[in-house]
């Protein structure tokens, strides 16, 4: 684990948000990038399913960011998301950075720069704890799915398809 004094700026912002929320775990810097769930899991020595990946879509009606937080082992069923959020499209890197505030590969579920509709896949609640990106491709933090839901205000929904890992 890397000391907060040497965290990249975006990860330090997340660390500050976590402290303000009273979260008792620190941001961890991975030795190699965790841009994918598999990379993060390999670095952490955990199962890919224990990675809480944040996938961002663009709601077509109003250009709002729609974030889905799901297990790294699961694929998101876009039709299920659209049934809850309205028609959605792909979000490119610029859209994610402008609306969420983080670069792809380190998209954190908290601290967004614009209002975001957030859904947590209900399957994530089957894990005692999960790891989420902390604003940088090398930064993650650990928390329970219930803490994640409390921090984000997200609704729980069945939005995953079949496991891919």
Question: Number of helices (H) and strands (E), helices first, in the chain?
Answer: 5, 10
- Is CATH 3.90.960.10 correct for 4-163? yes
Residue of 28, 27, 26 lying closest to 44 (CA atoms):
28
If you search the block for the tokens 């082992």, which residue do you land on? 73
Is the confidence at residue 5, as pLDDT, over 80? Answer: no
| Chain segment 76-129, per-residue pLDDT in tens | 999 999 999 999 999 999 999 999 999 988 999 999 999 999 999 999 999 999
State what percent of residues in the chain have pLDDT above 70: 94
Average pLDDT over residues 59-78: 96
CA–CA separation, 158 and 15 (whole Å): 29
CB under 8 A, 24+ apart: contacts of 95-99: 95/56, 95/58, 95/65, 96/56, 96/65, 99/56, 99/64, 99/65
If you search the block for the tokens 């990860």, which residue do you land on? 11
Residue of 21, 2, 11, 34 lying closest to 138 (CA atoms):
34
Chain CA centroid to CA 1, Å: 20
* pTM for the structure as a whole: 0.91
What confidence score (pLDDT) does residue 26 get? Answer: 94
| Chain segment 10-58, per-residue pLDDT in tens | 999 999 999 999 999 999 999 877 678 888 898 899 999 999 999 999 9
What confidence score (pLDDT) does residue 123 get? Answer: 95
With the CA atoms of 143, 145, 14 and 139 taken in that order, what torsion angle do they form, in degrees rounded to the nearest 10? 60
CA–CA separation, 16 and 42 (whole Å): 26
Reported as a pLDDT band with limits 50, 70 and 90, residue 163 is: low
């Amino acid at each position: 684990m890397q000391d907060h004094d040497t965290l990249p700026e975006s990860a330090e912002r997340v660390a500050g948000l976590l402290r303000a929320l009273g979260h008792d775990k620190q941001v961890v810097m991975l030795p190699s990038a965790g841009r994918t769930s598999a990379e993060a899991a390999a670095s952490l020595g955990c199962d890919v399913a224990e990675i809480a990946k944040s996938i961002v879509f663009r709601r077509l009606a109003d250009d709002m960011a729609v974030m889905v937080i799901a297990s790294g082992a699961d694929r998101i069923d876009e039709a299920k998301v659209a049934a809850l959020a309205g028609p959605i499209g792909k979000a490119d890197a610029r859209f994610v950075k402008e609306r969420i505030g983080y670069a792809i590969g380190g998209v954190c579920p908290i601290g967004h720069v614009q209002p975001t509709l957030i859904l947590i896949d209900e399957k994530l609640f089957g894990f005692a704890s999960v790891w989420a990106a902390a604003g940088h491709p090398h930064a993650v933090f650990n928390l329970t799915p219930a803490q994640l839901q409390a921090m984000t205000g997200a609704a729980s929904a069945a939005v995953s398809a079949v496991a891919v890992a």
